[in-house]
């Protein structure tokens, strides 16, 4: 296997595959729960954690009253890792910390216009924006007044194009438009799926959510079903979900996992995804979040046939692949029986996705399909994939496809270069960076750190550079940070230089 991934994909417990950071919750995180008068109260847990951060900052504290509350607290009970990982309040607590980070600290009390923000989780759209070809597709839709009501699953031609792309990606792909529903981005899709699946009656057995993960998605599931968090292992270019597979039960209602882990940018091998699907009961729904499955190093391998099983739902988003998080564009791929039922939910709840963007999605899907097939210029058959009513000539499509390919190659080159340069720069600092193979993030571990949030605060105060604390991804070791590499080259270089200098000064 390339990218440092283990050759033995049986993923038995052995020294080469055990995550170097282990699976335990850190003592400092357990301490938060032990001090809470009511550990079921997420707001109290949040106040305690923020208080512990403020207290650790000493005279630099921005909230002395919160620090005072922490100093007045005392341990009240012993807490086990299992209690924390199975607690409803822990999910709500991390989501509240997530809100606090963005709303109250980074863009609130600590806001500065000159801060180098390396914690956004998405590419800077002013630098990595849409290609001209896709921008023109929006203008074409406006000129044709394509912004009225539509099928709640999305326009048929758009869904047909997505299905063709997914067939190009998937071994023996069985997809047609009946497998596809266009959505308003990945986070929205997960929330809708949770409501659709569990809105009527919550299951009694816990849903399994692999961690690290994205708080809004996990919270949307936890609001509707009992949830257990399952920490998974990450290494140099790979994610090992053995622990998730071992946690499966015959009555597990749903498994939620990111195929590329946020924040590490490391991918689950297809063999393990296949193993997860085969090991799960046919009644267990497996939801694969594929939002970060982009901007990869090395050749793109096809998806395993198990991704097309009737109990698998795949969630795709264009937020990372095309740098359009504000457009909220994506889709789900699921068995036609599921999509037909989802139609009723969508038509009742939100009507349908914005029809203005259907042509953009259709063109991006067709162009990616042609690229996957190695097509250098659209043939007559490729031209015929677009409806005659569009008025596209073959020459027009050839020019738009060439523009799109140039954009994709440039984007992939620049992001991969920035990602590699960031990892290399961190390698010459006191950190231990994980080699990312996908997406827009790099994760690094900090020696002798017991609060990633406190480290963010100290680093921001000293360098005016914002990193993303790992606690906000349900990493309960709480000793890592995430950097998003999708900024300008000079800004990235300067930000990483300041962070590394800060870390060396604290040794």
Helix (H) or strand (E) holding 274: helix 270-279
Q: How high is the mean pLDDT of the chain?
A: 92
pLDDT at residue 381 is higher than 90: yes
pLDDT at residue 230 is higher than 90: yes
Number of domains making up the chain:
1
DSSP state of 267: B
CATH number of the domain to which 360 belongs = 3.40.640.10
Q: Which residues pair with 117 in a beta bridge?
A: 466
Q: Where would I find the H helices in 19-155?
A: 27-35, 42-56, 64-72, 81-85, 88-99, 132-143
Whether residue 321 is contained in a domain is answered as yes
Q: Where would I find the H helices in 353-488?
A: 358-372, 380-383, 394-427, 452-463
- What is residue 200's predicted lDDT score, i.e. its pLDDT? 78
- What is residue 186's predicted lDDT score, i.e. its pLDDT? 95
Bridge-based pairing of strands 227-231 and 441-445 is unpaired
Q: What is the mean pLDDT of residues 346-360?
A: 96
Whether residue 486 is contained in a domain is answered as no
Q: What is the mean pLDDT of residues 464-478?
A: 97
184 to 82, 154, 235, 293, 355: CA distances (angstroms) = 35, 10, 32, 18, 11
Bridge-based pairing of strands 180-183 and 330-333 is antiparallel
Contact 348, 385 (CB under 8 A): no
48 to 71, 358, 469: CA distances (angstroms) = 10, 46, 17
pLDDT at residue 505 is higher than 90: no
Whether residue 55 is contained in a domain is answered as no
Give every CB contact of residue 127 below 8 A, 6+ residues apart in sequence.
Answer: 486, 487, 488
The burial of 38, by beta-carbon neighbours within 10 Å (0-12 exposed, 13-18 middle, 19 or more buried), is given as exposed
Whether residue 213 is contained in a domain is answered as yes
Q: What b/e string do you get for 412-439 counting C-beta neighbours within 10 Å, with b at 16 or more?
A: eebbbebbebbbebbeebbbebbbbbbb
- What is residue 432's predicted lDDT score, i.e. its pLDDT? 87
| Domain span holding position 244 | 147-372
Whether residue 491 is contained in a domain is answered as no
- Rounded distance between C-alpha atoms, residue 350 and residue 328, angstroms: 14
Whether residue 352 is contained in a domain is answered as yes
- Rounded distance between C-alpha atoms, residue 375 and residue 105, angstroms: 48
- What is residue 237's predicted lDDT score, i.e. its pLDDT? 83
Q: Within a 10 A sphere around the Cβ of 277, how many other Cβ atoms?
A: 21
The burial of 31, by beta-carbon neighbours within 10 Å (0-12 exposed, 13-18 middle, 19 or more buried), is given as middle
- Rounded distance between C-alpha atoms, residue 105 and residue 387, angstroms: 50
Q: What is the mean pLDDT of residues 52-60?
A: 95
DSSP state of 301: P
pLDDT at residue 298 is higher than 70: no
Whether residue 159 is contained in a domain is answered as yes
Q: What is the mean pLDDT of residues 480-505?
A: 93
Give every CB contact of residue 214 below 8 A, 6+ residues apart in sequence.
Answer: 187, 258, 262, 289, 473
Bridge-based pairing of strands 465-466 and 116-117 is parallel
- pLDDT band of residue 375 (cuts 50, 70, 90) is very high
273 to 256, 280, 366: CA distances (angstroms) = 12, 11, 26
Q: What is the mean pLDDT of residues 115-120?
A: 96
- What is residue 442's predicted lDDT score, i.e. its pLDDT? 93
pLDDT tens column, 243-287? 999 999 999 999 999 999 999 999 999 999 999 999 999 999 999
Whether residue 431 is contained in a domain is answered as no
Between residues 171 and 279, the one the model is more confident about: 279
């Amino acid at each position: 296997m390339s990218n440092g991934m283990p050759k033995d994909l049986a993923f038995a417990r052995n020294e080469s595959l055990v995550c170097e950071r282990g699976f335990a919750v850190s003592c400092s995180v357990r301490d938060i729960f032990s001090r809470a008068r009511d550990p079921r109260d997420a707001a109290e847990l949040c106040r305690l954690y923020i208080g512990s951060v403020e207290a650790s900052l000493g005279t630099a504290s921005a909230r002395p009253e919160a620090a005072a509350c922490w100093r007045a607290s005392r341990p009240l009970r012993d807490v086990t890792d299992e209690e924390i990982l199975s607690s409803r309040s822990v999910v709500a607590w991390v989501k509240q910390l997530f809100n606090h980070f963005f709303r109250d600290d980074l863009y609130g009390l600590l806001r500065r216009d000159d801060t180098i923000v390396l914690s956004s989780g998405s590419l800077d759209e002013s630098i990595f924006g849409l290609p001209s070809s896709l921008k023109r597709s929006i203008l074409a839709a406006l000129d044709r007044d394509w912004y009225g009501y539509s099928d709640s699953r999305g326009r048929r031609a758009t869904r047909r194009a997505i299905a063709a792309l997914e067939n190009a990606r998937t071994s023996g792909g069985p997809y047609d438009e009946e497998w596809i529903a266009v959505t308003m981005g990945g986070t929205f899709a997960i929330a809708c799926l949770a409501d659709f699946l569990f809105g009527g009656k919550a299951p009694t057995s816990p849903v399994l959510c692999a961690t690290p993960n994205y708080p809004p998605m996990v919270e949307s599931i936890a609001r509707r079903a009992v949830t257990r968090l399952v920490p998974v292992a990450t290494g140099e270019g790979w994610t090992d979900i053995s622990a998730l597979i071992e946690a499966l039960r015959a009555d597990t209602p749903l498994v939620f996992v990111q195929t590329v882990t946020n924040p590490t940018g490391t991918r689950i091998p297809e063999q393990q995804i296949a193993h997860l699907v085969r090991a799960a009961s046919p009644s267990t729904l497996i939801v694969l979040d594929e939002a970060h499955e982009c901007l990869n190093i090395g050749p793109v391998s096809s998806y395993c046939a198990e991704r097309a099983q009737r109990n698998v739902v795949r969630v795709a988003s264009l937020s990372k692949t095309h740098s359009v998080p504000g457009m909220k564009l994506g889709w789900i791929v699921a068995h036609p029986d599921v999509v037909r039922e989802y139609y009723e939910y969508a038509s009742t709840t939100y009507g349908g996705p914005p029809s203005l963007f259907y042509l953009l999605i259709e063109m991006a899907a067709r162009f990616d399909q042609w690229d996957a097939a190695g097509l250098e210029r659209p043939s007559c058959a490729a031209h015929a994939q677009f409806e005659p009513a569009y008025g596209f000539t073959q020459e027009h499509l050839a020019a738009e496809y060439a523009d799109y390919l140039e954009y994709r190659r440039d984007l992939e080159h620049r992001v991969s270069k920035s990602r590699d340069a960031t990892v290399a720069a961190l390698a010459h600092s006191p950190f231990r960076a994980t080699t990312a193979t996908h997406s827009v993030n790099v994760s690094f571990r900090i020696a002798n750190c017991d609060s990633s949030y406190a480290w963010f605060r100290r680093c921001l105060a000293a360098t005016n550079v914002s990193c993303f604390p790992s606690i906000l991804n349900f990493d309960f070791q709480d000793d890592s940070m995430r950097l998003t590499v999708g900024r300008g080259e000079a800004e990235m270089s300067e930000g990483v230089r300041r962070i590394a200098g800060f870390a060396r000064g604290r040794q």
